[in-house]
């Protein structure tokens, strides 16, 4: 089994979260535990959450050398408030969300995330949920497939791929990652730098795991948990998610809203975070050389204001 890879932006995450003894953090995407271990090493306490029971089990073994400082919970970070409060913490000093699939999930052909290996059309981060990639591919109407490929995959040829999928499944249902990858390859016009099925797999995975809705709920929930001065750090790997995070912080870090039709600016009811810079933190050359996955990582963060409701 492939091991977990190095966490991305490790130094930058620590600079933002400022862990130290006596501080408590929720890691909503425990994964291999790389970031959590760095927080634990700085003396902080961490509650680690993951939808994937296998990730929880593996990270729990790695974090066993921090007894009393680490606990794990299975669940979706969309419910982070309930998960953290259920563990007995009313507020936390910081929350980390490092979005997406782990390299361990991607590299395990039997999980069905990758077009490179032969596996079932599964793609569930949480195998206890009933709904798989095969359900999406074999039961969704053509227009729904097209919308998912376009909106979640930003796939230019969404219509063409959706049509081919529906044609193919009339002969027999698609069951494997290779079948899906081969079908996309067959109908994809011209050459592309990346494998033609890259965007299709991303889109279907995001649908199976309701990733964007989870992110939106997770950002709200994490904000509720932060003590005044506490920090929320979010790492994303592609533009759709980064846009959600960017807009989330933008909309909540303006104290006043002004509209041309108003006689005077009004207080922003969503104001929660102290104003911070708009630019995301990105990996330096050295990290990208050592860990190519870091190339597209963007870290955005906010500090809960003392007055935010
Ligand atoms: C990129 S990895 C995290 C890596 C981790 N930061 C580390 O240092 O090892 C993402 C992890 O988040 C989990 N995950 C993704 N979306 C989730 C969600 N909505 N709720 C809980 N866990 C989620 C995945 O199962 C995966 O294990």
Indicate whether 120 belongs to any domain. no
- Rounded to an integer, the average pLDDT of 148-175 is 97
Claim to verify: residue 89 and residue 16 sit in the same structural domain: yes
Whole-number pLDDT of residue 139: 98
Find, among 50, 58, 56, the residue nearest to 27 by Cα: 50
Whole-number pLDDT of residue 269: 93
Q: Indicate the residue among 139, 173, 208 that finishes a domain.
A: 208
**pLDDT higher than 70, residue 309:** no
Claim to verify: residue 36 and residue 168 sit in the same structural domain: no
User: Which of 7, 30, 80 has most ligand 1 atoms within 8 Å of CB, for mutation?
Assistant: 30
Domain with residue 137: its CATH number is 1.10.150.170
- Reported as a single tens digit per residue, the pLDDT across 108-119 is 999 999 999 899
Claim to verify: residue 96 and residue 220 sit in the same structural domain: yes
Indicate whether 3 belongs to any domain. no
Domain with residue 64: its CATH number is 3.40.50.150
**pLDDT higher than 80, residue 278:** no
Q: How far is the CA of 304 from the centre of ligand 1 (A)?
A: 23
**pLDDT higher than 70, residue 2:** no
- The beta strand positions in 160-304, using DSSP E, are 226-236, 256-257, 266-267, 273-274, 281-282, 298-304
Indicate whether 2 belongs to any domain. no
How many angstroms separate the CA atoms of 131 and 91, rounded? 33
Domain residues for the domain of 242 are: 10-104+211-304
Claim to verify: residue 80 and residue 30 sit in the same structural domain: yes
Indicate whether 39 belongs to any domain. yes
- Reported as a single tens digit per residue, the pLDDT across 35-52 is 999 999 999 999 999 999
- Rounded to an integer, the average pLDDT of 114-137 is 95
Protein residues whose CB sits closer than 6 Å to any atom of ligand 1: 4, 7, 28-29, 31-35, 49-52, 55, 76-78, 98, 100-102, 125, 214
- Rounded to an integer, the average pLDDT of 84-90 is 97
Claim to verify: residue 204 and residue 215 sit in the same structural domain: no
Which residues share a beta bridge with 234?
Answer: 97, 300
- Rounded to an integer, the average pLDDT of 175-183 is 97
Q: Indicate the residue among 184, 208, 232 that finishes a domain.
A: 208
- Rounded to an integer, the average pLDDT of 8-34 is 97
Q: How far is the CA of 218 from the centre of ligand 1 (A)?
A: 12
**The total number of structural domains that make up the chain:** 2
Indicate whether 119 belongs to any domain. no
Distances (CA, A) of 55 to 103, 115, 152, 188: 11, 21, 25, 35
How many angstroms separate the CA atoms of 185 and 181, rounded? 6
Whole-number pLDDT of residue 16: 97
Residue-averaged pLDDT of the chain: 94
Nearest-CA residue for atom 2 of ligand 1: 102
With vertex at residue 152, the alpha carbon angle to CA 131 and CA 35, rounded to the nearest 5 degrees, is: 80
Which residues share a beta bridge with 232?
Answer: 95, 302
Whole-number pLDDT of residue 307: 61
Percent of the chain with pLDDT over 70: 98
**pLDDT higher than 90, residue 152:** yes
Claim to verify: residue 179 and residue 33 sit in the same structural domain: no
Nearest-CA residue for atom 8 of ligand 1: 34
Q: Indicate the residue among 186, 208, 230 that finishes a domain.
A: 208
Claim to verify: residue 300 and residue 181 sit in the same structural domain: no
- Grade residue 158 by pLDDT with cuts at 50, 70 and 90: very high
- Grade residue 184 by pLDDT with cuts at 50, 70 and 90: very high
- Rounded to an integer, the average pLDDT of 84-105 is 96
Whole-number pLDDT of residue 5: 74
- Reported as a single tens digit per residue, the pLDDT across 215-254 is 999 999 999 999 999 999 999 999 999 999 999 999 999 9
How many angstroms separate the CA atoms of 163 and 145, rounded? 9
The atom number, within ligand 1, closest to the CA of 33 reads: 9
pTM: 0.95
Structure-model confidence comparison of residues 190 and 239, the more confident one = 239
Claim to verify: residue 141 and residue 190 sit in the same structural domain: yes
Claim to verify: residue 143 and residue 158 sit in the same structural domain: yes
Claim to verify: residue 19 and residue 93 sit in the same structural domain: yes
Q: How far is the CA of 268 from the centre of ligand 1 (A)?
A: 32
Whole-number pLDDT of residue 1: 45
**pLDDT higher than 60, residue 125:** yes
Indicate whether 46 belongs to any domain. yes
Claim to verify: residue 87 and residue 133 sit in the same structural domain: no
- Rounded to an integer, the average pLDDT of 267-294 is 91
- Rounded to an integer, the average pLDDT of 2-6 is 66
Claim to verify: residue 152 and residue 72 sit in the same structural domain: no
How many angstroms separate the CA atoms of 257 and 251, rounded? 10
Indicate whether 122 belongs to any domain. no
- Reported as a single tens digit per residue, the pLDDT across 191-203 is 778 899 999 999 9
Indicate whether 111 belongs to any domain. no
**pLDDT higher than 70, residue 100:** yes
């Amino acid at each position: 089994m492939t091991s977990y890879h190095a966490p991305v932006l490790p130094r930058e995450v620590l600079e933002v979260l400022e862990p130290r003894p006596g501080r408590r953090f929720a890691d909503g995407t425990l994964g291999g535990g790389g970031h959590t271990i760095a927080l634990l090493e700085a003396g902080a306490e961490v509650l680690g959450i993951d939808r994937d029971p296998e990730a929880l089990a593996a990270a729990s073994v790695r974090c066993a050398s921090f007894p009393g400082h680490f606990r794990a919970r299975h669940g979706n970070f969309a419910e982070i408030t309930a998960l953290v409060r259920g563990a007995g913490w009313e507020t936390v000093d910081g929350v980390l969300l490092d979005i997406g699939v782990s390299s361990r999930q991607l590299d395990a052909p039997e999980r069905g995330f990758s077009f490179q290996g032969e596996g079932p059309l599964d793609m569930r981060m949480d195998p206890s949920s009933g709904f798989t990639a095969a359900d999406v591919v074999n039961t969704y109407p053509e227009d729904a497939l097209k919308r998912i490929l376009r909106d979640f995959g930003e796939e230019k040829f969404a219509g063409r791929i959706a049509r081919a999928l529906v044609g193919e499944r009339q002969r027999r249902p698609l069951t494997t990652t290779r079948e899906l990858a081969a079908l996309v390859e067959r109908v994809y016009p011209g050459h592309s730098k990346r494998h033609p099925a890259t965007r299709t797999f991303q889109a279907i995975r995001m649908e199976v795991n309701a990733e964007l809705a989870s992110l939106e709920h997770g950002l709200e929930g994490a904000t509720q948990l932060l003590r005044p001065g506490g920090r929320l750090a979010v790492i994303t790997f592609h533009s759709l998610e980064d846009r959600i995070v960017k807009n989330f912080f933008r909309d909540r870090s303006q104290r006043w809203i002004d509209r041309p039709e108003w006689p005077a600016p009004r207080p922003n009811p969503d104001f929660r975070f102290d104003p911070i810079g708009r630019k995301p933190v990105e990996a330096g050359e050295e990290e990208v050389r050592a860990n190519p996955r870091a190339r597209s990582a963007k870290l955005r963060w906010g500090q809960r204001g003392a007055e935010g409701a």
